[in-house]
Structure 1
């Protein structure tokens, strides 16, 4: 990951450049060596039993777990080590294609466990799953849309990089399901339905400096109501176990001590509010029961950003001698990190949000710190406004939207701070 620097000077030994990395399947989340991938044949031969169209039992078993219909007959799954070595093609020591016994090339690599397609970067860059979690109504889908849009158009440029969808299917799905409704139609994105299987959105964050490793980012939007159900987590949220970072979103309206005051202090339009809110603490309890409790000391070391969403709503609580937050709070000031992660800005916002949570939901903060070893606190506004009747009345202006994500990159060693890599 990051470069280790000598504390005492002297000649620095160059570490060998790692070319291949373990793959975490973005579908079933099993971890395996890139040498163990299998391939989907690029053609079929009806007269050849080995190469005729056939049922893929592993893929169908995976689909049936989610209540989806099994696939129709598909091209054969091929073991690359049953062909001569010269028929296998490697890039950066990673097997990326093969020619079958008919000398027909295929580049369609599959996970050996579930037979879903793998992204082209799998094995050639670290697989980094970013889990976005939180109770229902917290705005996970809107946050993910606003975050990825900002990463593509602002953040990547600020860090001499590019952020791109891994393939045309990801680009099409993300645009039609998230970007177009929000940024073109000025409408809210529909909440993720618990009954609908979610496909991951895979992006690559690639630096212009070739000496810096690219990141494969897997974003997963899980239904909020499922985050308090163990059966749902067993089926849909195994990615949290293998996540490199967690974005734990908290809606101010989930904080019962201030919910009524926030609603009463809104203007006549009122905005959109739901009548029922889950408690964020319930999500912590379910995660602890589901997998954190089995970790050493009952804690997870996965870096976790606790993110207060819809921070623009907190302006209605702001008073000079206010009980909760002051008008000059950093929460209401946008900040853009450029080239490095500014620790001064981070420490200010981290401290302010911690103190805010201590006042409005100390039980939740205590629950987080009992189960998460590596946690920091942030406040963002995905839209810069509260929608009215499902519509946005102003131009979207996100506030500090990428700061929690950049903190994760900093903790993972991909970007430095203004004081250097720690």
Structure 2
């Protein structure tokens, strides 16, 4: 059942006399805890020196959240208004069934709606539509940061137009951070990022994929720039387990060089001896084991039903294998595809089958593990750059290949876009 069917069902099941329309559970895009919109709290829009309830004070929950990302604590802030039952109904404002504003006992309105678990301010759409979070997971050196940058750039500049939508950062701060730390270095200067260190814990980057058709709900994209080593580090993984658990879709990135069979066939000249080079790569199975220990193992029958796109990255490197039995020189993997208005099921089935067969040949243990633990999975191949960088610099211009296809498949699975076949 798609999102629009759920919306119709919810609308149809309500008593017409009830003045508050339906709502959806919120998944906080900061701490990823899940709760009802009725549980949100508000931050006062003012402080009162003669009222203890409205003193400026430390926000302990917010500072605890910030400490997890090695961020400095914030100074004293306006009070948190928690007991909303004390607020009379005439002092509450609803939008799309969700409480979005209250007037406090001093007669001052506030629309600063906060997560009750971490006290970060929630997006305006929280509770009005399904909270759909897309997770990117993968081991060290898989290229998560580069893929994330290429994907968001492609969504903003090409994909959104093809689906009559817009992809926008949720705040000025996110826009500035993405532009200065990710987009400009890669697209303007052709410089690859240094590997993310697990000691550098960064807040997630949030974007909204919003359709121009007002009847279609927006999709909130939440991307963690997570150090790959964290995917096999127990303490580090605990921080992000809730994030993955409450995701609507997973992008599971796999670097060809993680697979020993491929590493032995591809000669990459980086001035490093092969032993040191090989030791940097964790096997894809180890990421599945980590996910199983922290999340999947607690699900029904040890499987997750979250749609999972298994994404083979750095696909341009596979041209080296075109003389082998593994892959053909005219493979679909090497050619970009534009999905417009609908998700092209013919193209999807071709790439899904080809990448699955390739992975079964080079790492059958990995594909078996995927089959055991992931109910709904599909296979893709992407190149975030279009070519293999030399000395950590892009040669020529960045020319992504099929980077948005796994994301569009997730939108299709979640009922946001329709599928069609090539004529």
Scaled by the length of structure 1, the TM-score of the pair is 0.91
Of 110, 115, 132, 1:106 maps to 110
Number of matched residues? Answer: 408
C-alpha distance 45-180 of structure 1, shift in aligned 2 (>3 A):
same
Of 239, 259, 262, 1:258 maps to 262
Give RMSD over aligned pairs. 2.5
1:125, 1:216 within 8 Å by CA — same for their partners in 2?
no
User: Structure 1 stretch 368-377 or stretch 188-197: which is displaced more?
Assistant: 188-197
Q: Match of 1:375?
A: 377
**Uncovered stretches (5+) of structure 2, i.e. residues with no partner:** 15-20
3-state SS of the aligned residue for 1:288? helix
Matched, 1:219 2:219: no
2:310, 2:378 within 8 Å by CA — same for their partners in 1?
yes
Distance in 1 of aligned mates of 2:13 and 2:211? 19
1:130, 1:220 within 8 Å by CA — same for their partners in 2?
no
3-state SS of the aligned residue for 1:401? coil
Matched, 1:289 2:297: no
2:101, 2:113 within 8 Å by CA — same for their partners in 1?
yes
Of 315, 333, 336, 1:331 maps to 333
How big is the shift at 1:255? 1.0
Q: Match of 1:314?
A: 318
1:191, 1:223 within 8 Å by CA — same for their partners in 2?
yes
Of 214, 232, 243, 1:228 maps to 232
**Uncovered stretches (5+) of structure 1, i.e. residues with no partner:** 6-11
1:60, 1:71 within 8 Å by CA — same for their partners in 2?
yes
Distance in 2 of aligned mates of 1:16 and 1:396? 50
3-state SS of the aligned residue for 1:112? coil
User: Would you identify which runs of 4 or more consecutive aligned residues in structure 1 move more than 6 Å?
Assistant: none
C-alpha distance 23-267 of structure 1, shift in aligned 2 (>3 A):
closer
How big is the shift at 1:227? 0.2
How big is the shift at 1:67? 5.0
1:131, 1:221 within 8 Å by CA — same for their partners in 2?
no
2:33, 2:242 within 8 Å by CA — same for their partners in 1?
no
Deviations 1:381-411 (A, max 9, x none): 0010111112112111100010011111111
Of 18, 27, 32, 1:29 maps to 32
1:22, 1:126 within 8 Å by CA — same for their partners in 2?
yes
3-state SS of the aligned residue for 1:246? strand
How big is the shift at 1:200? 1.6
Q: Match of 1:61?
A: 64
How big is the shift at 1:219? 2.0
**Residues 40-51 of structure 1 aligned to structure 2 (within 5 Å):** 40-51=43-54
1:44, 1:75 within 8 Å by CA — same for their partners in 2?
yes
2:333, 2:381 within 8 Å by CA — same for their partners in 1?
yes
Distance in 1 of aligned mates of 2:244 and 2:319? 33
1:133, 1:221 within 8 Å by CA — same for their partners in 2?
no
Distance in 2 of aligned mates of 1:195 and 1:27? 18
3-state SS of the aligned residue for 1:50? helix
User: Structure 1 stretch 187-196 or stretch 401-410: which is displaced more?
Assistant: 187-196
How big is the shift at 1:415? 0.8
Distance in 1 of aligned mates of 2:119 and 2:5? 37
